Structure 1
Amino acid sequence: MSEPDIAQQGESHDPRNIVLDAAVLLQNNGQATSTTLLAVDRLNSGLGIHSQLVPSWQSLILAGADPRAAAVTPTGVNMRRVAAAMRVIDRAEDGPLDPVDVAAGLCAAATLRQANAAVFVLACATGSAALAVIFGAEDVRTALLAAASAAAGGVIRRMLGRFGLGVLVQAFAAAVVAGIVGAVAVHLHLGAAGVVALCPALILVPGPHILNGALDLISLRVSLGMARVGYASIVLTVIASGLIVGLGMGGQTLPVTGGAVAVPLHVDVLAAAVAAASYSVYFSMPYRMIGWPVLAGMAAHGVHWWASSVVGTGPATAALLSCLLVGAMLVPMSHFLRMPFAAIGFAAVVSLVPGMFVFRALSGMLQLQTDASAEVLAAAVSDSAVAAGVVAAMAIGLVVPIRLRDNLIRRHSHGKS
């Protein structure tokens, strides 16, 4: 029961079908599982039925007196659809829902398109340049090369998408371009291969899937969480492979070591604002919502800079503090303004996802085949540990405010009933 099916079944006003349609729409477009479960509870209340959603990677089961199931493909992220669907679902707080109106609203949400191609390509360029600045690019040519490489990758991704080629092919092709440009930059002495190649690849990182998977694991939805993390790992491996191929075509390799470069606070915060706005476009977020992740992203990077540069904490602790702040800022705001937290929260913090450590770890593991030295092994293990620690810390930082909100909503709903 995919989004096209929802549009085709607009004449079906069975409340249970409507609830299942809504869950499929949210699951397929990047909504967090906990929020999807709450949305089902709200629809149950608004439509006057009793059912329970059992989510998995391949299907959703609506258990109850008249159980039913639907297949899902939760690999996309389209926050325009999520936001539109949540606006329809949230009306349950205001009273009983008309099944005809809900079905029509879900049909309309299912037809919303991704961000405009030109805007998407521009966001690829600005996001990559912003990440280059965050990672310490000191030469403007480095940032411009990273931006041009990401823009070319964005064009290729959209072109391949029109031919029906999936995420993996698109990510591999864009990563090959990033690797080639990074190698050319080294030969022409125009920038460091690490920054020029990695920053365009970092915007390909499936941040929402990584964080959603971590949130599911923390909530003990183990099978779904492992499936999400497994899918994200496959995408990351494809990106790393594309980078290595592209760099290899230019006679370069992906570095397995590298220290962080200190960036002034004001530069880091401003670059974070650009990155958050760019990521919002990647996720096809409604433009009216972009201001919130920008503000939260600036605050998060300010805390991250303070924790790393002033206090001297490790990457995981800095990420934890940053995500706790974002959660405290945006979880209440997302509830009162009826905006999906997945839209505004992920865009604010996804630039903190440790894609660089993941890529270096994968590169190190591949290099072990030809250079089984202690240095390469230690670097790969260290980068893997840092990446896992940062992702876990980010998930914990986000899940605490989400859990508090969910508990309050459930208590409020039970009080009404």
Structure 2
Amino acid sequence: MAQKTPQCFIHSLPTETVYIILKTLLDDIVEDDLMRTPDAKHRVLAGGLPYPHTMALVCRHWRDIVSSAPGLWTRVFCVLPQEELQWMSSQLQKSHDLVCGIYPILRLIAPHLQRLKSLRIHEFHEAYVHNHLDMLTGHAPQLEFLRLTDVRRVNCFKTQPCLKLDCPALRILHIDKNAVCDTNHQWLKKNLTHVDRMSISFGSGPPTATYRWSGFPMLARALKVAPRRIPCLSLENLLLPVNISQAGVKIGAAKVILRTRIDALAVIDDDCQTIVLRQCNFVRHLSRISLPSFNSLELDGCASKALQDIPRICTWDGNTVTITNSRRSCIKIILYFLGAPFKRQRCSLWPRVTTLKLVAKGKFVMELPLTTLKAMINSRREVAGQENVGKDDEELDSIGFEGVRPLAVLHVHGGQHLSHKDKAWFEEQVRDFVWDHRKM
């Protein structure tokens, strides 16, 4: 006779087991919050109580566990600080992490610096101008995420350094342009040892021609004192003076992300490996900028107006292009740069590119111009010569080949349905071909 499997109800689990389950869930949410824009299921400021308060509402047993477990109090949210200062003060006794938005609560944060893992101040300008950041002075050994940004595009330089926190464990730094320029260079040298991602904000909203940031040389000098080359540097909404490239000032990182504007391409050094253009609607301007020497270009959420002409002087020697969630207009312009005939002219500004990846993520619908894509592949094969079509990059380098290289890798994820005829054509023309169409 078969034995029945004993049932186990969640309310009968030992306290230690429930705590581990809740802690695992919260760790996942917090890591998501630290590393990127949180998923919708993890955003709690829009409505409802923040974790772990919702966990405490399940039952009395869970409420007792949550109330007695400091490890679960990893984030404290302050939406209306003037009305909830007393509530915040009590919760900070349990907290390791804080998300805040208004400067008066800085005086409540100060006694708990050694316990914080993340600190974010969104209305940064007011605290910056009035020296309220002086309250945040001392050792913060667990602080991994520091964000000091403001939505306004204001230039206000101070004579005294604004950052006095000692945070040797810092991994992610999002900072306002004023703060990074006015920060004591010794602070940057001391606290950027372990930083993996650094983002510098130049305000939100579309920059106008009248606002061109002249503080770039100060930024370049500040970044040079970093103890190592930053793995990922993001410049958000930076619009530089027209003649800045003539000054010879350069910045760089292993990976550079340019959000909204691409002007900073002119001041990126040649040691950069990857450049990402994110949410940029000026892709056509790539034909006017002398690109630095880097291997990989990524375009994420980009678009552009129609291309009018292609100069033959602004070339690029990279080998990989990845286009994610970008409009047809953007894709078409990149295909022209890669060699698709434009106005009855054949011109490849990017002759060494052998890998092209097109990706649609989430609900994005990608429209690929198949005719232009085929024309680009044909054009590169014809210019490269039939005898070079089957060779890889190393073989072409070994024979000293300096011309246009045929496309060797084409990966499409989320494209439109491809007919058997078209699929056979691409498989014949491209050595490494993958096409995953979007299922509707």
TM-score tier, shorter chain, comes to under 0.3
Higher relative contact order (CA 8 A, sep 6+): 1
Q: Which has the higher helix share?
A: 1
Of Structure 1 and Structure 2, the greater strand share is in: 2
Instruction: Give the number of the structure whose alpha-carbon radius of gyration is greater.
Output: 2
